[in-house]
Amino acid sequence: MNDVRSGNYRVNCLAPNNIFFQLPSNPLPPIVALLTKQMLTGAVTPPSPAMLAAMMDNLDKLSTRGCSEPEIRPCLEGLFTTTTLPQELRVSHQCGIARYLVPAGSPALPQPFPDMLYGYSTMMAFTQAQQTTLRDIHPSILSYALVALVNFPFFVIELQAAAGTRGNLWDTANECAGSAAACLQALDQLNTALGAAGCQGRIPNVCYCLAIDNNLGQLYTSWKDEDGSKVHVQRVASYLLSDTEHFARLYACVASILKWGATTRLQDIRMAADYIGRGGE
């Protein structure tokens, strides 16, 4: 029942945990639509033609024969590590997200172990005073991943091999949904504390997930209802990796998500921590 490969997984496991996939044609809530448009259309310097050709050539070679996930992983991860991350960001690889962030419905969701999880570095993203404030919200709030310290995660990448394995992007999207719910819960805790301190505003609680194999990338956005009761997951873009234009757009989209995480979103979290730390004054 809780096997992500099951055709009934979304009905029998995700839905009881209040996680729901939406049709790609559904209108997004206004703030989610605005942010997603920025991610999809952001102006980002593309990789050089030589680098782009090399990455596509590696994927094409793997796509012509049977391949396993361990074979495809270095090639796909290379797509997202061709530039240096801002020092405020941190990425973990196949680390379990803290169980207390995972919805506690029945049946229980599998603990997420995303292939790549982007969030913030404790020491580089927050001042000592902000760290103290955030730690007081929840004793585990500064260590969402079990091994690598990834705070307030906002971008999940799940990798898959399109040949030679039992997996497919259905499974991968199901894995993304569980990770997205945990990411949203992380920021929910901060928004709750912000409200308790008397602030009328809230940080937009939106995250992104990429389900990708050596042929196709599917980008999902996730958000919660206004009352926080349901997690929604919706595909907002698909990329054919054998198409040069698609490949370049995917690269730019990932770069835009990371830029948003390192600027606007991080600044919102810092301001929230400062507000809470001052007692709402």
Report if residue 3 sits inside a domain: no
| pLDDT tens-digit map of 205-257 | 999 999 998 888 999 999 998 887 899 999 999 999 888 889 888 988 999 99
Report if residue 192 sits inside a domain: yes
Tokens coding 244: 């040069």
Report if residue 1 sits inside a domain: no
Query: Which structural domain, as residue segments, surrounds residue 235?
Result: 9-277
Mean pLDDT over 21-35 rounds to 96
Q: Please report which confidence band the pLDDT of residue 198 belongs to, taking 50, 70 and 90 as the band edges.
A: very high
Tell me: pLDDT of 148 over 80: no
Tell me: pLDDT of 178 over 80: yes
Tell me: pLDDT of 45 over 80: no
pLDDT at 155: 96
Longest dimension (CA), the chain: 62
**Residue whose token pair is 């600044």:** 267
pLDDT at 197: 92
Report if residue 72 sits inside a domain: yes
Number of Cβ atoms within 10 Å of the Cβ of 137: 18
State the Cα–Cα distance between residues 109 and 214, nearest whole angstrom: 27
At 7, is the secondary structure helix, strand, or coil?
coil
How many domains, the chain?
Answer: 1
For the whole model, what pTM was predicted?
0.92
Question: Above pLDDT 90, what percent of the chain?
Answer: 49
Report if residue 68 sits inside a domain: yes
- What are the b/e assignments for 141-153, b being 16+ CB within 10 Å? bbebbbebbbbbb
Tell me: pLDDT of 141 over 80: no
| 62-66, 115-119, 246-250, 269-273: least confidently modelled range | 62-66
Tokens coding 228: 């926080």
Report if residue 47 sits inside a domain: yes
